[in-house]
Amino acid sequence: PKEPSGSLSTDSIKIKKEVANAFVKRQKRSSLYERYFEYYKNPMEQMHERCENYPPCDYLSDQIGFSLAYNRFFG
């Protein structure tokens, strides 16, 4: 219901908890160990990304394998 001033009352803005949970998700808590690995990638993963971002290495890795392709371009 509208108030005389034309603004909505606070009762009309409230929604049920079940409805709110349908579109608002809480971020799950993670341990310090899990947060560390979200920010720092292991060396092998960094090597894969480096090769994937360089098209000739990415193409060659499909042909002869990742390790040989990586060593050919970056090794």
Residues 13-29: tens digit of each pLDDT: 777 777 766 666 666 66
Tell me the pTM: 0.50
Does the residue 56 lie in any domain?
yes
Helices (H), 1-75: 10-13, 17-23, 32-39, 43-52, 55-64, 66-74
Does the residue 25 lie in any domain? Answer: no
Domain containing 70 equals 41-74
Q: Is residue 35 part of a domain?
A: no
Cα angle: 9, vertex 12, 17; to 5 degrees = 135
46, 47, 49, 52 alpha-carbon torsion, rounded to 10°:
180
Handedness of CA 49, 54, 55, 61 (dihedral sign): negative
Domain count, the chain: 1
Residue 34 to residue 73: CA distance in whole angstroms: 32
Domain assignment present for 18: no
pLDDT at 55: 95
Reported confidence tier of residue 40, pLDDT bands at 50, 70, 90? confident
